[in-house]
Structure 1
Amino acid sequence: MEKVLLSLINSLHDSQKGLADIGEHLKDEVLKRYFFAESLKRANFRGELENELHRHGIADVNETGTASGTVQRVWGDLKAKLGGGDHTLLETAEQGEDSAKDAYADALQQELPLPLHQLLSEQQEQVLLSHDYVRKHRDALAAK
């Protein structure tokens, strides 16, 4: 259980930072606010998972994110600096959301206590909704 939660916490760390970074570069104010709100939700999800670890006696949770998450954020920043518009940033965000989706899918395949499985399922539902929102807006910008 500890390994599963730590992996998800690191994925959420990447997701939170990535959403906030992309939100800073978006020109569309509605999308910008959405990305900042989603970043805060990911921070909340991390807190919920850290609380679960604390309840099971694990006091030190060192969240560093993942190497691939760091690379993705740097790549997104580079795209923004090179003049990539909202469509390009949404493509990068969708890739990040794909990583979050995969992390939850992997975690939910593990043997977990029912309350923890339910918590992860609820969080996963929000991640899936966010992914679909980002993809929908990316496609709408591509169609313009």
Structure 2
Amino acid sequence: CASAAAELQQLVRSLGGDPETSSSMAGDLHRRWVDLKSMVTGKDDEAILNECERGEDVALKSYRKALDKDLPADIRVVVQRQFQGVQRNHDQVKALRDAERARS
């Protein structure tokens, strides 16, 4: 995630923009929620993986929204590649969650 953000920030700079350098408020809140939930549930793996998947869902939605825009071709290539990485992350978290459910 950090390298993807850095890559996007560099693209913004190359276009003369001033990229956001801090994580989003929603991302920070989600991380805190996962931390809190893991404390309350006794670090129940399925609950944590559910929250991780929810976070990946938010990321996928953001990338889809970006890909719906009329992006320059070189930018679209980067966003599409990163979207595919987020999709792989999502699928991996979902598989882990499903495996944890099957164990329960």
Answer yes or no: same fold by TM over 0.5. Answer: yes
Aligned length: 102
CA distance in 2, matches of 1:96, 1:84: 17
2:25 equivalent among 61, 67, 92: 67
**Unaligned ranges ≥5, structure 2:** none
| Paired amino acid for 1:91 | N
Q: Which of residues 5, 14, 35 in structure 2 aligns to 1:55?
A: 14
1:67: how far off? 3.1
- CA shift digits 1:63-114 (9 cap, x unpaired): 3333332322221111111213211110000000000000000000001100
**Sequence identity (%):** 32
TM-score for both structures, normalised by structure 2? 0.90
Q: In the aligned structure 1, how far is the partner of 2:36 from the partner of 2:99?
A: 23
- State the structure with bigger RCO (CA 8 A, min sep 6), 1 or 2: 1
Output the aligned Cα RMSD.
1.2
Runs of 4 or more consecutive aligned structure 1 residues displaced over 2 Å after TM superposition: 60-71
Range moving further from structure 2, 63-72 or 47-56: 63-72
In structure 2, give the amino acid aligned to 1:103. Answer: S
